[in-house]
Amino acid sequence: FAEQLKGRREKMGAVMFPRQPELSIKVRDGEIIIEQRNREDLTQGMIAEFMIWANHAAAEYCRKNTIPCLYRVQEGDDNKPEFGDTFDPVQFFTTIRTFRKTTVSQEAGRHYSLGLSAYTQATSPLRRYSDLLIHRQIKAVINGQPPVYDQNELAQAVLISDSSVSRADEIMRDRERYFLHKHIKERQKAGEVVFDGIVVDTGSANEVVFYVDFFCSFKHCRRPSFDVTVGQKVRVKVNQIDLFDGIIRFDLRQQ
């Protein structure tokens, strides 16, 4: 069923692209455990697809019933990029940079990359206060009452809550980054730490952007002494780690 829903979105213009694995960082009994989760497996894909359509259904309900809502809108053109079946760091980095940012609007509008006519966020009311507000809006109307918030009240409530949520997310990211860097620093005691990487951008005069398999993310460093080209495989040496400032520096080496 999830595949049918995904196919429906694709026919509606959604941009389908494989994503890089997701890094999972946990601490168990004092041991730092680093794992990679495949976002493209059946279970993850099914959950993601159902969440997308649930958010779309909430947005359409608000639009059709004139319920004040904060919609997620993304503009785009008709030149839909084509991706392969597997994650390609170069293609992903190059294409994603051309996408326009998703904006928050009081008017329903098309979400380009998802291929949907209206979209909001309502599937995580325990984690995002803004999702809970949308639940309250819809619940009130279903019960025959007026919406709890008018458009201005809703926007103000979300503005206040988003700052707290952003701070909480930042703390979580800092925590994960700290333990990731600590794990690598421990590995440095046994010798050099070097990872596989692939160059994705050389447009800057001073820096090179590359994808590192271990981190499941894009990193950058100063341009090396040797010539590099987009798509080139390189060795990425961890040069310096500052645990408390959250800084990690790399040097590139030829394979």
**Per-residue confidence in pLDDT tens, the chain, 255 aa:** 889 999 999 999 999 888 899 999 999 998 999 999 888 778 888 999 999 999 999 999 999 999 999 999 999 887 778 888 889 999 999 998 889 999 999 999 999 999 999 999 999 998 888 999 999 999 999 999 999 999 999 999 888 877 777 888 889 999 999 999 999 999 999 999 999 999 999 988 899 999 999 999 999 999 999 999 999 999 999 999 999 999 999 999 998
Q: Residues spanned by CATH 2.40.50.140 within the chain?
A: 192-254
Model pLDDT, residue 32: 95
What pLDDT is recorded for position 164? Answer: 78
Interatomic CA distance for residues 131 and 109, integer angstroms? 18
Q: How far apart are CA 209 and CA 222, in angstroms?
A: 9
Write down the pLDDT at residue 167: 84
pLDDT at residue number 210: 98
CA distance 152 to 55: 21
Q: What is the pTM of this model?
A: 0.84
Which of 111, 107, 110, 159 lies closest to 133 in space, CA to CA? Answer: 159
Q: What DSSP designation does 194 have?
A: E
Residue 152: per-residue pLDDT:
93
Which superfamily does CATH assign the domain made up of 192-254 to?
Nucleic acid-binding proteins (2.40.50.140)
Distance from the first to the final alpha carbon of the chain: 45
Q: What is the pLDDT of residue 80?
A: 79
